[in-house]
Structure 1
Amino acid sequence: MADNASSAQRLAAWSAGLVWRDVPDDQRSLVGLRVLDTVGLVLAGYETQAARVAFAIGRKQGGTAESTLFLAGERTSAAVAALVHGTVAHCRDFDDTFPDSVVHPGSTVIAAALAVGEAERGPDEEIATAILVGYEAAARIGAAAGRRFHARGFHATGIVGPLSATLVAAHLYRLSAAATADALGLAASMASGLMAFVDDGAWSKWLHAGWSAHGGIVAAQLAGQGFRGPRGVLDGRHNLFTAFIDAPAPGADALCGDLGRRWQGGAAHFKYYPCAHVIQPYIDAAIALRCRHRLFPDKIERVTCAIAPWAVPIVCAPRAPKLRPATDMDAIASLPYQVAVALADGRVDLDALGPACRARAEVLDLATRIEHAADESLGQGFDGSIAVRLKSSEVLQSAVFSAPPDRAKLLAKFRATARRAVDEDTAATLEGTILGGALPRFGELATTLKIHV
């Protein structure tokens, strides 16, 4: 690789040349868990109205019958399958997240990998390698921007997603390094996604993940046929970072210099509750305090959550709709509501998003007693603190932090999410197919999800 190669060219060359034997064990061990989580989320989302629309569009779009539409009993084009599955996987806001950029990689990367992997009949090792390529790209491009996409009103997943997805697809289509760089250049023009959904609970947020997977695949297909893409999209005069956040682009050495030596893709945090990821550690802390001190809502006078200022307009304000979420999207993005459910029930699951829970007087009353305090010292991760003042005047406090990955929690999550769409035997079959060997058996996965309609 020439010293003056652009970031896109260097990232493309690394991606095109990566093979499974060069992947370290700690990264290999994450692949099955990432796939299990995302498949479970597609099954969990299957019952939603958003999923019904997405699947209907998928059937209508049709195309070459090369990739399975899960649970639909039919096949469609890889790009359309990825559009459907990526959208549905994200529609519970239950998917993994990079804390530094708040990019959700799994719904986009896994959707693209499963669709193209099936279409190309890719070996398990190649599909697994492509998944890790996608995570690594999402981690690095997202980290270069930090949370500045959100600060400018852009949904980071929709900006970063097409680039990570196109590297997944290009790897599985076995494009050359040059064609992969073209694909990156094209995918950058597909980067999009406004944060407007925050104001009214609209579903565009979920579409961003599916559209990213779709766009990334189309970009790779175009590049594979010789359609040229600009090479300077990550560091040229009109690069992604300058365009979206008015910031200098990172140099090629900063973005790509240690590719293959230092892996950042493993930093994506799994989510164990259906909420905006910044809320998850507050739920953990609330449940722990409830268990340790036998807390019940009638004992609580007030709860104060110290939180990083960047998160306030996402999960705390405006306050009125956060206290009485009108939709599942509103519930997902409400710190007071989610913490109230955690303190009332000792758990937060998908039922917390439904209309029955959103109407519970006990939960809504407790939510009015949960307030936030913006703290400028916070924001390095999903950090904070929670203080529960009891009516006895006693104050119970806990630090808030992101917990390390918990395999047992993830398995419990998958079993609960999968059972919303398939029976217990099918869920067990899927779990064995994904985690029963050194690698997921990707071909069997598609077969199982096609048969059990």
Structure 2
Amino acid sequence: MSMHTPGTPDIGRRLAADLARLSFEDLPPDVVQLTKLFTLDTLGVIGGAAKAPGMAELQAALTEWEANGTSTLLLSGRMANPVTAALANGAAAHSLDFDDQHDPARVHVFCVVLPAVLAALEAERKISGKDALAAIAVGVEVFCRLGLACYNSLGKGWHPTTALGTISAAAAVAKLYKLDAEKTLHAMALAFVQLSGTTQFIADGALAKRIGPGFAARSGVLAAQMARHGVTGPWRFLEGKAGLFELYERGEVRPEILSDGIGEIWRVRELSMKPYPCCRCVHTVIQIALDYRAEGITGAHIASGTIELSEVNRQIVGSPFDQGHHNPVVHAQFNAAYAFAAALTDGKVTIPTFTPGRIRAPDVAFGSLFETIAAADMEPTAVPPARVRLHLKDGRTLERTRWTMKGAPDEPMSEEEVFAKFRACLEHGFGTVPDDATALQEQVMRLDEAPTARDLIALFLRCRQNGRAA
């Protein structure tokens, strides 16, 4: 365990100076390509969320107070204040739990950074594709490094996507605004003042889970805007006695990660893309279920079962499967036993897997036969590993273990799989026709050539307006 010594000077100031020096020209070609792919993936996931529980209610709550604005609510096409747009679009990006994750840092990244950048650049109106990509890349870098530095944030009960995303979104928008080092410092500091985020919404199965990244995006945009106009924040927001490291992380941090190799080591290379629309902690369980299905095992064969995960994964997704849960969608998205049962039964896990009718169907009820425990041979904070042991009605016991996870850098999705997921999400949410999806895809993948990044939003809205579900 690394313990931070309060008062260690200038950590935040050094980070701000490092960020202010970075530009698009510092991004290696593969980092540019990955940033575009994850941008595409996130836009698809936002579109796929058009019918997600809580999204219509959130849009209504936010637009009741606003007649117009400079930035677009992507699910409705309404215009609003940039902070409102960042909130709505960030929530949409996370509402299906289909967005990317940095597995070791346990943060969902683009669902916060991209909505913040899009809301801010639309209000600016003259942001090039290269400047947008640089801002996104910087925000992603800060986010991943904060998650790695604050390595046990989730274990303390924080939702690090919401909490650390606030600071990261501010860094991204500060880069978009081309703020100097001092104002970048104050943007992140003002974001820290607004920091929040709790895993209680997971434990309670609340729709607030999907809104957390929206809160982070909103606060980051607001912080950068205030800093641009001269408002100051606590410059020791990381290292101070009441800063992030001590107040929130209780000294359990590795602060050197924030600056080591910045501009040379790019953490976007470590991001995982999700093949399944649910908590990343259950993805390996899904793969094991598909392996069992290929062997001919069905739910009818199972008398009982045990799912073994790392301790932190067990805390997040290890509750018993409850078909009568008052909020079945969030419950199922964070339930290893249901994920196993659905994958074994259907041979796939897609957006419709996490609808109330599917969750409450009789053929997945056997998920309640499973117990989820912490595995003694898995690192407590490890994300990928899982083991499933089945006790069959014929007396046999079967066991399978996987140590890697689909979509991670060591088992990545192909570009064609990314494109297919993008198209499927837009078709699910909007009924988008193939030509419109292709036009948006091509625009994203050429974003570094675009004189204005705002064309992305126009093409996204075309996907919505021309869709069969419009």
Shift in CA distance, 390/101, structure 1 to aligned 2, threshold 3 Å: same
Amino acid at match of 1:281: T
After TM superposition, give the deviation of residue 439 of structure 1 in Å: 6.0
Deviations 1:140-160 (CA, angstroms, capped at 9, x unpaired):
1111111x2222222111110
After TM superposition, give the deviation of residue 313 of structure 1 in Å: 2.4
1:198 correspondence with 2:202: yes
CA distance in 2 between counterparts of 1:445 and 1:53 reads 25
1:421 aligned partner: 430
After TM superposition, give the deviation of residue 301 of structure 1 in Å: 3.7
1:450 aligned partner: 461
Structure 2: any 5+ residue segments left out of the alignment? 1-7, 466-470
1:137 correspondence with 2:147: no
2:178 aligned partner: 174
Matches within 5 A, 1:9-408: 9-62=13-66, 65-120=69-124, 121-146=126-151, 148-247=152-251, 249-251=253-255, 253-291=256-294, 293-317=295-319, 319=320, 321=322, 326-364=327-365, 366-379=366-379, 380-392=382-394, 393=396, 395-403=398-406, 404-407=411-414, 408=416
CA distance in 2 between counterparts of 1:344 and 1:414 reads 25
Structure 1: any 5+ residue segments left out of the alignment? none
Amino acid at match of 1:300: I
Q: In the alignment, is the contact (CA less than 8 A) between 2:201 and 2:208 conserved in 1? A: yes
Shift in CA distance, 216/432, structure 1 to aligned 2, threshold 3 Å: same
Deviations 1:243-295 (CA, angstroms, capped at 9, x unpaired):
112115544x442132112222332211111211110111122213322x133
Shift in CA distance, 26/32, structure 1 to aligned 2, threshold 3 Å: same
TM-score (norm 1): 0.92
TM-score (norm 2): 0.89
Q: In the alignment, is the contact (CA less than 8 A) between 1:322 and 1:335 conserved in 2? A: no
Instruction: Report percent identity of matched pairs.
Output: 27
After TM superposition, give the deviation of residue 325 of structure 1 in Å: 7.4
Shift in CA distance, 51/378, structure 1 to aligned 2, threshold 3 Å: same
Q: How many residues align?
A: 445
CA distance in 2 between counterparts of 1:170 and 1:158 reads 18
Q: In the alignment, is the contact (CA less than 8 A) between 1:62 and 1:80 conserved in 2? A: no
After TM superposition, give the deviation of residue 436 of structure 1 in Å: 5.4
Q: In the alignment, is the contact (CA less than 8 A) between 1:151 and 1:310 conserved in 2? A: yes
Q: In the alignment, is the contact (CA less than 8 A) between 2:145 and 2:257 conserved in 1? A: no
Deviations 1:129-181 (CA, angstroms, capped at 9, x unpaired):
111111111111111111x2222222111110111000111111111111010
CA distance in 1 between counterparts of 2:373 and 2:115 reads 38
Shift in CA distance, 271/307, structure 1 to aligned 2, threshold 3 Å: same
* Match for residue 442 of structure 2 among 397, 415, 432: 432
CA distance in 1 between counterparts of 2:279 and 2:314 reads 12
Q: Secondary structure at the match of 1:113?
A: helix
Q: Secondary structure at the match of 1:154?
A: coil
CA distance in 2 between counterparts of 1:395 and 1:199 reads 30
Deviations 1:408-434 (CA, angstroms, capped at 9, x unpaired):
332222222111214223323222222
CA distance in 2 between counterparts of 1:320 and 1:381 reads 20
After TM superposition, give the deviation of residue 69 of structure 1 in Å: 1.9
Aligned-residue RMSD, C-alpha: 2.2
After TM superposition, give the deviation of residue 91 of structure 1 in Å: 1.2
Q: In the alignment, is the contact (CA less than 8 A) between 1:67 and 1:119 conserved in 2? A: yes
